[in-house]
Chain A
Amino acid sequence: MAETATADAPAKATSGGNILQVRNLEAWYGESHILHGINFDVNAGEVVTLLGRNGAGKTTTLKSIMGIIGKRAGSIKFNDQEIIRATSDKIARMGIAFCPEERGIFSSLDVRENLLLPPVVRPGGLPLDQIFDLFPNLKERLTSQGTKLSGGEQQMLAIARILRTGASFLMLDEPTEGLAPVIIQQIGHTISRLKKEGFTILLVEQNFRFASTVADRYYVVEHGKIIDGFSNAELAANMDKLHTYLGV
């Protein structure tokens, strides 16, 4: 199988140095063993996408990096610092921000409170006017209850609120799930723009077509392992394999 490619899959740095280094990452939900040794790297300034079927372990990988999964083993290095044992609040303070699949908009907070909730962890976050420039809808709905927004607006709010904090490494879990094509396009533009601003982004996507518009590199996750990886340039050559992996 392609599992021989596991070790350092495509270690070709497209830009900058190694910002995230995941080695032999294992994780458990209670008794069930979900991740069985995940290995991959993300370089500064890249957009890297984790692809894979439902239940392959993509979300669990993001949650393990964020420190949300209780039981995890192996090594996760962020800017050369080991974070496998750190609590999620400490990890956030180091500059990693997470946008969960379910978006996590708080219903007891209005849009403004939701937007301002995550504390600024370091300088260099986007100022509010730039955020409203990216997401003009939010500015008009600041006093609405967070969960009264449409699905697309909630997704924008979920992304917007982690841009202010100064975190430079963003993890977005299926940002396009359940959204209309025009909104997906807007989120694609946003991700491209964030990349230009210097953010590093780790993306989990089922929507492969969307991922191909923004990603620099891909890793394929299956049964809690990385089974393959390639760059955007190698995408065409790997199309057949990918269809087999994803079963599409």
Chain B
Amino acid sequence: MQALYAQLLVGLINGSFYALLSLGLAVIFGMLNIINFAHGALYMMGAFVAYFLLNLGGINYWWALLLAPIIVGIFGMILERTMLQWLTGLDHLYGLLLTFGIALIVQGVFQNYFGSSGLPYAIPDQLKGGMNLGFMFLPVYRGWVVIFSLVVCLATWFLIEKTRLGAYLRAATENPTLVRAFGINVPRMITLTYGLGVGLAALAGVLSAPINQVRPLMGADLIIVVFAVVVIGGMGSIMGSIITGFALGVIEGLTKYFYPEASNTVVFVLMVLVLLVKPTGLTGRAA
């Protein structure tokens, strides 16, 4: 039983990263119509920025949680202003190729300087140790990651679905021309949206640094699964990405317990099944 709970926890943690990343991808796709293949590289940058802040600036984990998403988000907004914005109206393929190229360059640069092995990032003192829950032992940091991710995901959902700013975002996703004709600076909104999606990826990177170490290819490994998550959940839905992210993490964890050989492929098998039955994804709207 202990092992089952442990795998469930691992599943929830992976699910947290899937949710944060697929949420950002969904927001970016909705607004920019771009499948952001650079997402994994930007997640990695989030972890590296936290690492630099700590080792070069002595700035701790808590500040990194705030600063890394802002710094990487600004980097993302520069990418959007200088490159992505020119792809408006072109086929998805161009955005996919461009962001894939950006990912390769960013990862290549980091690999050049830091190799492929991981750099350590210590768990902050306040989150060290563990708790005995009776039925299992819970490392505090892992519990923190799950709860914090959930809070961030729900806050993002609230921002988009329940606020005035979110209404602009949803409306501009449907009909950017008309929203602009109401007097809203849509190009600036698009830049900020990309910054938001990228910031969420960087935040996931910071959260993962103490668990998975800081590696140049940490995002490349993860992003493939995240894209499967997005396909299963459907591109258009915010809550859909969150629920699918966590659910698939848990399903992966359960598979690790019941049939470990399939744990790396179960997400892709599900993706194939969903594509066969409902090509727009479980919660997706037809494009």
Q: Using a CB–CB distance below 8 Å, which chain A residues touch chain B? A: 66-68, 87-89, 91-93, 97-98, 100, 104, 106-109, 113, 116-119, 121, 162, 165
Give, as a whole number of angstroms, the nearest-CB distance from A23 to chain B: 22
Cβ contact within 8 Å between B181 and A92: yes
Residues of A within 8 A of B178 (CB): 98, 100, 104
Residues of A within 8 A of B185 (CB): 89
Cβ contact within 8 Å between B181 and A121: no
Segment with Cβ contacts to A, from B5-13, B116-124, B138-146, B168-176 = B168-176
Give, as a whole number of angstroms, the nearest-CB distance from A110 to chain B: 9
The secondary structure that dominates the B interface is helix
Residue B78 CB within 8 A of the other chain: no
Cβ contact within 8 Å between B167 and A117: yes
Residues of A within 8 A of B184 (CB): 89, 119
Flag B149-177 by CB within 8 Å of A: 1 or 0 each. Answer: 00000000000000010011011011101
Which A residue sits closest to B169, measured CB to CB? A108
Give A118 to B174 CA distance when docked, in angstroms.
15
For the complex of A and B, 5 pairs with smallest distance between CB atoms: A92-B183, A118-B182, A108-B170, A88-B181, A113-B167
Cβ contact within 8 Å between A106 and B181: no
Which B residue sits closest to A66, measured CB to CB? B181
Cβ contact within 8 Å between B183 and A119: yes
Contacts A109-B167, A109-B170; is A104 near B175 (CB within 8 Å)?
A: yes
Cβ contact within 8 Å between B170 and A89: no
Q: Using a CB–CB distance below 8 Å, which chain B residues touch chain A? A: 164, 167-168, 170-171, 173-175, 177-186
Which A residue sits closest to B183, measured CB to CB? A92
Give A93 to B183 CA distance when docked, in angstroms.
5
Cβ contact within 8 Å between A108 and B181: no
Give A171 to B138 CA distance when docked, in angstroms.
63
* Max chain A Cβ within 10 angstroms of own Cβ: one of B182, B185, B186: B182
Cβ contact within 8 Å between A117 and B171: yes
Give A55 to B170 CA distance when docked, in angstroms.
31
Residues of A within 8 A of B168 (CB): 117
Q: Which of A108, A109, A116, A118 contacts B183 (CB 8 A)?
A: A118
Q: Which of B164, B177, B181 contacts A116 (CB 8 A)?
A: B164
Give A157 to B191 CA distance when docked, in angstroms.
30
Q: Which of A87, A109, A113, A117 contacts B182 (CB 8 A)?
A: A117
Cβ contact within 8 Å between A87 and B180: yes
Give A106 to B177 CA distance when docked, in angstroms.
12
Give A116 to B166 CA distance when docked, in angstroms.
12
Give, as a whole number of angstroms, the nearest-CB distance from A172 to chain B: 14
Give A109 to B172 CA distance when docked, in angstroms.
11
Residues of A within 8 A of B175 (CB): 104, 106
Residues of A within 8 A of B186 (CB): 89
Which A residue sits closest to B236, measured CB to CB? A108
Give A174 to B108 CA distance when docked, in angstroms.
56
Cβ contact within 8 Å between A108 and B180: no
Cβ contact within 8 Å between A119 and B182: yes
Give, as a whole number of angstroms, the nearest-CB distance from B183 to chain A: 3
